[in-house]
Structure 1
């Protein structure tokens, strides 16, 4: 095989140890020396700054599983700290993966984990990776299913090798497959000289020795040097992070996760109270009481004056009515627009679940089939009100025509829609892309966004 050609051997058929080089990765001489070579990258040791992989397993436990699964993992954390690394890993895999379908885990790996991985990338390690002719990512701890989408789509790696979790009929049984000495044989290398990059704290493990034995040189960063690494700035991401899906708005470290579970007993009754207030009370009263119980609402350029719809350009009496276009941050967008206008409006939407329709204080009008990136989309209201101090900003922009003429040519409907989206993005400080709704759902959920209307 091609891989065996690069396994350096002595005359006695015993593998030669690579040259070990301790480095800080902070000098330009290192960059020049490493150019145009094939790199075998220890992802946890040579790319990610944090030495802990617990937050990534917690994300899988909660986002692909449930809060109960996350609570079990959190309760086991003190025990995990006392166990050998391999046993700790096996237990986390059992808790997080057992019984989950491959589709659920793959969705979290594709739509949720990349954001947290990107925030954990060290700029120093990334600079080395960027100058390589070819990079093969090796994950000795994180299962391949968790890290492969991030490494291939956002880091540009061609080959990712990692631990595999056993499956039966499309569901994980929670057991890691045995380590294989021939992991890298699946990667087809050319004649380029190979080097390794990892962390000195994990290099002398059996698995690392087998992987790096393919290399002529291995560059190791000490844990002390890694603690000095700086995060990779967002404007230096190889590929911009456009789509992200997930309920947790923080990195679930053990301390942060404890705080979340301590807050949940208060959050559940509080979100029910806040929801009932918005459902049953007039909007002005609901907004006023909401501010007392922690819900902050701010309106900019309001079209309402003394409780009535005001003057031009926002709300002049018209037989054709008005269409308010929102950025659809959550399902509460049309509800808040209705509250700020102090009048009932109908929400024209692509996606509305039965539960959302039942609890919505405004009438909804369906367009096409029901759609969703996740089956719990109807819980948007509850997750928003579960925050300690949820805040909603509503800004009314200037009135825009539905028919536009540019350079004497009448614009098509999609051009008007794109212009409206561009103006909303400009106000929010975002840059518009050419990605379509279909592409969004394919990236986040792995489907085109059409769901059974009976759900």
Structure 2
């Protein structure tokens, strides 16, 4: 029977007066606009496993699709779960669910179902055929769900997924109804149920009101800022949601991308700095310089401190290319491989304030320095809180806004091998970098001019945010690693 006949469309559901109501909603195709869970299994396979596992998943996806549509939903989903999860460590599955998937889920939330789901404030349940371990973090932390009812995977004593399922198996059809039924008694049934396909009918029939979410073309997703909690920090190498088409293109491009990245690195590090911009053009790297490029002071001991936003480890390199001369990069951490490949000098900081301050002063006496006071990269259009250390050391400060362009692979990571960051950035078909020089701070706005170090740092953060169209935040490097590595979702702005 057609869903529009069986249950009314969610657009007909009022969201007024739902503060004391309980809602139960499906995930894929209901709370999200996309009905397919394939992109999220692909992310799990690639980010939790490897490119080889992702390729296997791509190869078996036609079989999974055929089973799903012509045999049963359960059979198709079992294939996806087995290939994506078998042999993975539970801690890796949880890390991907926490650090990678939320970004892609959050960009695809259905506006009508979210309107109803968020309005029901008493209790919010998500019931899904997806493995609970894969979606629970996102649903609870970003959608405000109180409980997630999902498929349970089998785990060995050593903490690895077998790819098999615990009873009752994949939550579809009557199993969804049974899972919901166990949470409620006959006197306290869910007030609202939301689904999007015929297999959702059984649990929808338990609800006092039930609505269907139908496919709408060109439907705008809910702005991330309107969710229970927006995604600020995320990880993973893929820029785009790996739909079947995007995933296939990515996998086919990968070996060519690796060779191209190696070629780009080899040529660029062996090219004289004045010729590098021309080399970028020949290699398909778009490089844009904006603002007034400052001239180097000729007097010794008057090096300029360039204060740069931090998007990838290549920020100082592109800044040096823009200046046409080497600038020493001050870093908190950098891989040994990156140091070897870096065409500019690097200086490591120890996070000991006195030692670092003395080191930076010595380096400034020798020439220009570039520092990224956020202390770590961030992918969202925000700037993290600036360390104020640099502001006490010089009155020669030039803010620099760095903005990379990536279409396929991210050039930074938390969980992955940071030594490969440069290569992943250069694996993009047409990577780009935009460097914008702002005016040097006038003396009266520096520490030497009477401003506190924190005032200087905050002022520069606001200048860079305004230039890039970003938001200033008080999040720190520690917040990022707590959320992505330890899974502490309690960080507040």
Post-superposition Cα deviations, 1:233-289, rounded to whole Å, max 9, x if no partner, equal: 345334333222221111111111111222223222211111011211112222212
Q: What's the secondary structure of 1:445's corresponding residue? A: helix
Q: Residues 395 and 229 (structure 1 numbering): CA distance in 2 closer, same or farther, change over 3 Å?
A: closer
Deviation at residue 447 of structure 1 after TM alignment: 7.7
Counterpart of 1:381? 422
Counterpart of 2:465? 425
Q: Does 1:253 align with 2:250?
A: no
Q: For 1:264 and 1:436, how far apart are their aligned partners in 2?
A: 33
* 1:137–1:151 contact (8 Å) kept in structure 2: no
Match of 2:320 among 329, 338, 350: 338
**Quick check: 275-284 or 419-428, which moved more?**
419-428
* 1:145–1:164 contact (8 Å) kept in structure 2: yes
Q: Residues 317 and 21 (structure 1 numbering): CA distance in 2 closer, same or farther, change over 3 Å?
A: farther
**Quick check: 385-394 or 227-236, which moved more?**
227-236
Q: For 1:64 and 1:200, how far apart are their aligned partners in 2?
A: 30
Number of aligned positions between the proteins: 412
The residue correspondences of 1:272-421 to structure 2 (distance < 5 A) are 272-303=262-293, 309=295, 315=297, 317-368=299-350, 373-400=414-441, 404=445, 410-421=450-461
Q: Residues 125 and 193 (structure 1 numbering): CA distance in 2 closer, same or farther, change over 3 Å?
A: closer
Post-superposition Cα deviations, 1:204-244, rounded to whole Å, max 9, x if no partner, equal: 4xxxx3x44653333233x4x45575422345334333222
Deviation at residue 159 of structure 1 after TM alignment: 1.6
Q: Does 1:215 align with 2:207?
A: yes
* 2:117–2:124 contact (8 Å) kept in structure 1: no
Q: Residues 193 and 115 (structure 1 numbering): CA distance in 2 closer, same or farther, change over 3 Å?
A: closer
* 1:49–1:227 contact (8 Å) kept in structure 2: no
Post-superposition Cα deviations, 1:151-204, rounded to whole Å, max 9, x if no partner, equal: 111111222221122222222222222228664588589958533111233224
Post-superposition Cα deviations, 1:385-417, rounded to whole Å, max 9, x if no partner, equal: 1111111111111112698579x9954434432
Report runs of 4+ in structure 1 exceeding 6 Å deviation: 369-372
* 1:139–1:163 contact (8 Å) kept in structure 2: no
**Quick check: 289-298 or 237-246, which moved more?**
237-246
Superposition RMSD on alpha carbons, in Å?
A: 3.0
Q: Which structure's relative contact order is higher, taking Cα pairs within 8 Å and 6+ residues apart?
A: 1
The residue correspondences of 1:81-100 to structure 2 (distance < 5 A) are 81-83=65-67, 84-100=72-88
Counterpart of 1:5? none
Counterpart of 1:452? none
* TM-score of the pair, normalised by structure 2: 0.76
Q: For 1:135 and 1:410, how far apart are their aligned partners in 2?
A: 54
* TM-score of the pair, normalised by structure 1: 0.82
Which ranges of structure 1 fall in alignment gaps of 5 or more residues? Answer: 1-19, 449-455
Which ranges of structure 2 fall in alignment gaps of 5 or more residues? Answer: 170-174, 352-374, 377-412, 489-493
Q: For 2:134 and 2:426, how far apart are their aligned partners in 1?
A: 30
* 1:107–1:444 contact (8 Å) kept in structure 2: yes
